[in-house]
Amino acid sequence: MNKTDVNKGSDDYSVRSVVMEMKNITLRFGGVVAIKEISFDILEGEIRAIIGPNGAGKSSMLNVISGFYSPQEGEIWFRGEKRPWLKPYQVARQGIARTFQNIALFEGMSVLDNVMTGRLTHMNSNIFSQALWKGQSEREEVENRDHAERVIDFLEIQHIRKTPVSRLPYGLKKRVELARALVSEPSLLLLDEPMAGMNVEEKEDMSRFILDVNDEFGTTIALIEHDMGVVMDLSDRVVVMDYGRKIGDGAPDEVRNNQDVIDAYLGVSHD
Amino acid sequence: MLYREAGDFKTSYIEDNQTFPIAFDRYRYYAILAISFLILPFLVNDYFVNAILAPFLIYSIAAIGLNILTGYCGQVSLGTGGFMAVGAYSCYKLMTAFPDVSIVIHIIIAGGITAVIGAVFGLPSLRIKGFYLAVATLAAQFFLVWLFNRVSWFYNYSASGQINAPERTVFTIPVTGPNVEPWAMYMICLIFAFVSAVIARNLTRGALGRTWMAIRDMDIAAEIIGVNPLKAKLSAFAISSFFVGISGALFFAVYLGAAEAGDSFGIQKSFIVLFMIIIGGLGSIFGSFAGAALLVVLPVILKLIGADFLGWPTGLVAHIQLVIVGLLIILFLVLEPHGLAQLWRIAKEKLRLWPFPH
């Protein structure tokens, strides 16, 4: 896995290059405005959190980035270029990987096969080579298996690599899903509530993995999370959404002290 | 004790990726191959080949084809009979138009033609799923059979409306027509079945197979990791139809010798192949063979026991067969949706520990 920690380690955010920039995104479903004129950017090598109360439009935002929804207004700039409207699989080929809020693994396949599907964008041997299992296809199988094994090693799921995914407990499934996203060597990794439904220990494990991924591979991460403690500890910068609008943006401490955010998200004190 | 993997260490990914990673499995596989290629051709007689081996091998190819589409890619199809007819009729047209070209090449090209037709009829799968797709493929079944009965160009304007396989040879040994030796019929079916199974196995364990299974298990997640659903589904339809087309060509040219679209490739064919993969096991190449074997051998055994041994009327035996097949399908769907292949897998798990329970 190549380390792409360009500009990494610099705390001065003006130095880092912009991976993705959202400009005035508006998304409507019929009359419902899910996202209203939101702009923010994601910088190289940072962990960017998107938070907000239920129904704030966080998941919609992630779906816009990963190409599930196409916004009615606004532009998405990826690596300095305006992104045309792309289908989700084309977005994936640009190097954007994601996990889902509800685990979306391939239940009928083993852990290893699930992780290997994450390498599909890197495999392009022709069908005849695959039918004979000779030449390019065999080479690719071995090369990509090597990548897959490194990620399996990294996320400490070696012992279950041949187990069917349907037999795994929830926490491990989440980790396998992270492995599948990570193995494609994404330049931007989107995590939709990576810690939802986990106990404290699993949350700590997952937080460690997210930090390690960011640290060791220099992967840029955008995540949605409800656990405020986790968000404040993990992320470099936070976007706060409420009712489809952006009400705060900045370092965790700034956001924590922002009166709008306190009112909308953390709630006004009643005592 | 009998069946163990302890001490069988893999030191490379190539070794770990092989079809039969466990040594015992591998030797069993070689033994079966040796028996079927080197011993059986000298033992078979006319009845054995015509009643059991040839239909078993040909149906296995069709079941492998349908299993790729339904078992691996999750797209239900009821058009198998129609696609077999495409293979049969294109093989017939090729045989009569180019008599000098080898029949083996004709059968493969017939598979290729079926692949194209299959991909065209697979187009609705991009919009509809499950039950609705099954109905759409049913339209393919009826349309294709109607087409082959209706347009006389397909059967070379013969008065009977049938297609008849002229005699063709491989290395001067006739494999089609009236003078086929039983062992020659068996060998050509066996070679096609063997090569089909190897190719299908390689495709399904590699990148393409993972693409299909990803679409089967969760199409949204598949798309998000970079699978183009259009390519994945159409390639499944095409490759599935390729095998089904080959089996249709063999069924007509080698096994039946003469065919008529409605009789030989009707809706019953679609159902029987679907039953084979349900009973044999969805998403398993071995299951395709197991299902085909069961559904081919069952009527033969029932006839032996019922009609020949107990002396029941043949009509009754035929009905009992329908009842048993129906019962088997219901039992498998309820108790073991992954079919005989899964039972076999469980048996192997148990054998690994035998004679100790844990």
- Are the Cβ atoms of A131 and B214 closer than 8 angstroms? no
Residues of B in contact with A184 (CB under 8 A): 225-226
Of the pLDDT bands very low, low, confident and very high (cuts 50, 70, 90), residue B192 is very high
pLDDT for A3:
40
Mean pLDDT over residues A242-265, rounded? 82
A120 to chain B nearest CA, in Å?
Answer: 7
Of the pLDDT bands very low, low, confident and very high (cuts 50, 70, 90), residue A6 is very low
pLDDT for A13:
57
Of the pLDDT bands very low, low, confident and very high (cuts 50, 70, 90), residue B111 is very high
- CATH classification of A15-95+186-271 is 3.40.50.300, yes or no? yes
- Are the Cβ atoms of B17 and A131 closer than 8 angstroms? no
Residue B63 has pLDDT above 90, yes or no: yes
b/e for B94-130, b at 16 or more Cβ within 10 A? bbeeeeeeebeebbbbbbbbbbebbbebbebbeeeee
Of the pLDDT bands very low, low, confident and very high (cuts 50, 70, 90), residue B82 is very high
Choose from A133, A178, A187, A189 for mutation: most chain B CBs within 10 A: A133
Residue with tokens 């509809």: B128
Of the pLDDT bands very low, low, confident and very high (cuts 50, 70, 90), residue A7 is very low
Residue A2 has pLDDT above 60, yes or no: no
Residues of B in contact with A117 (CB under 8 A): 210-211, 214, 222, 225, 227
pLDDT tens digits, residue range B171-186?
Answer: 888 888 777 888 888 9
pLDDT for B85:
93
Q: What is the mean pLDDT of chain B?
A: 86
How far apart (Å, rounded) are the C-alpha atoms in residues A205 and A219? 18
Residues of B in contact with A104 (CB under 8 A): 218, 220-221, 224
Residue A5 has pLDDT above 50, yes or no: no
Closest residue in A to B202 (Cα–Cα): A131
pLDDT for A108:
86
pLDDT for A8:
46
Q: Is A141 on the interface with B (CB under 8 A)?
A: yes
Mean pLDDT over residues A158-179, rounded? 89
- Are the Cβ atoms of B206 and A89 closer than 8 angstroms? no
pLDDT for B57:
94
Q: CB of A188 within 8 A of CB of A96? A: yes
Looking at chain A, which residues constitute the CATH 3.40.50.300 domain(s)? 15-95+186-271
Q: Measuring CA to CA, which residue among A235, A230, A233, A219 is closest to residue A151?
A: A219
Mean pLDDT over residues A256-267, rounded? 75
- Are the Cβ atoms of A104 and B224 closer than 8 angstroms? yes
Residue B236 has pLDDT above 90, yes or no: yes
Q: Which DSSP string corresponds to B149-201? A: HH-GGGGTT-TTS-EEPPP-EETTEE-SSTT--HHHHHHHHHHHHHHHHHHHH
Q: Is A87 on the interface with B (CB under 8 A)?
A: yes
Q: CB of B296 within 8 A of CB of B346? A: no
- Are the Cβ atoms of A132 and B202 closer than 8 angstroms? yes
A130 to chain B nearest CA, in Å?
Answer: 6
Name the fold adopted by B43-353.
ABC transporter involved in vitamin B12 uptake, BtuC (1.10.3470)
For B127, residues 6+ apart whose C-beta sits below 8 A from its C-beta are none
Smallest Cβ distance to B225: which of A87, A97, A127?
A: A97
How far apart (Å, rounded) are the C-alpha atoms in residues A1 and A230? 27
Residue B64 has pLDDT above 90, yes or no: yes
Mean pLDDT over residues B31-38, rounded? 87
* pTM assigned to the model: 0.88
b/e for A103-128, b at 16 or more Cβ within 10 A? bbbbbbbbbbbbbbbbbbbbbebebe
pLDDT for A15:
66
Size of interface A-B (CB pairs under 8 A): 104
Q: At what angle do helices B267-280 and B339-353 cross, to 10 degrees?
A: 20
Least confident among A9-23, B43-57, B61-75, B251-265 = A9-23
Of the pLDDT bands very low, low, confident and very high (cuts 50, 70, 90), residue B6 is low
- Are the Cβ atoms of B220 and A142 closer than 8 angstroms? no
Mean pLDDT over residues A90-112, rounded? 89
Closest residue in A to B231 (Cα–Cα): A89
Query: Domain residue spans in chain B?
Result: 43-353
Residue with more model confidence, B16 or A176 = A176
Residues of A in contact with B202 (CB under 8 A): 130-133
pLDDT tens digits, residue range B300-343?
Answer: 888 888 777 887 888 888 888 888 888 988 888 888 888 888 88
Q: CB of B162 within 8 A of CB of B85? A: no
Of the pLDDT bands very low, low, confident and very high (cuts 50, 70, 90), residue B91 is very high
pLDDT for B66:
94
Smallest Cβ distance to B224: which of A92, A107, A130?
A: A92
Of the pLDDT bands very low, low, confident and very high (cuts 50, 70, 90), residue B108 is very high
DSSP structural state of residue A17: P
Q: Is A99 on the interface with B (CB under 8 A)?
A: no
Question: Helix %, strand %, coil % for chain A, to 5?
Answer: 40, 25, 35
For A12, residues 6+ apart whose C-beta sits below 8 A from its C-beta are none
CB neighbourhood size of A138 (10 A): 19
Closest residue in B to A117 (Cα–Cα): B210
- Report percent pLDDT > 70 for chain B: 97
Closest residue in A to B74 (Cα–Cα): A108
How far apart (Å, rounded) are the C-alpha atoms in residues B356 and B129? 46
Six-digit token string for B66: 């349908």
Q: Which DSSP string corresponds to A72-131? A: SEEEEEETTEE-----HHHHHHTTEEE--SS----TTSBHHHHHHHTTGGG----HHHHH
- Are the Cβ atoms of A118 and B221 closer than 8 angstroms? no
Burial label, A261 (beta-carbon count in 10 A; 0-12, 13-18, 19+): buried
- Are the Cβ atoms of B225 and A184 closer than 8 angstroms? yes
For A257, left (φ over 0), alpha (ψ -120 to 50), or beta? Answer: alpha
Q: CB of A140 within 8 A of CB of B251? A: no
pLDDT for A270:
58
Residues of B in contact with A106 (CB under 8 A): 213-214, 216-218, 221-222
Choose from B14, B126, B224 for mutation: most chain A CBs within 10 A: B224
How far apart (Å, rounded) are the C-alpha atoms in residues A179 and A99? 9
Establish whether the linkage from the previous residue to B355 is cis, with ω within 30° of 0. Answer: yes
Smallest Cβ distance to A121: which of B13, B17, B226?
A: B226
Q: Measuring CA to CA, which residue among B224, B266, B235 is closest to residue B248?
A: B266
DSSP structural state of residue A37: E
How high is the ipTM of this complex?
0.84
Of the pLDDT bands very low, low, confident and very high (cuts 50, 70, 90), residue A1 is very low
- Are the Cβ atoms of A106 and B218 closer than 8 angstroms? yes
Closest residue in A to B284 (Cα–Cα): A108
pLDDT tens digits, residue range A48-90?
Answer: 999 888 888 888 898 899 888 888 888 898 888 888 888 888 8
pLDDT tens digits, residue range B129-185?
Answer: 888 888 889 999 999 999 988 888 888 888 888 888 888 888 888 888 777 888 888
Mean pLDDT over residues B292-304, rounded? 87
A87 to chain B nearest CA, in Å?
Answer: 9
Q: What is the mean pLDDT of chain A?
A: 84
Smallest Cβ distance to B213: which of A66, A109, A180?
A: A109
Of the pLDDT bands very low, low, confident and very high (cuts 50, 70, 90), residue A4 is very low
- Are the Cβ atoms of A125 and B216 closer than 8 angstroms? no
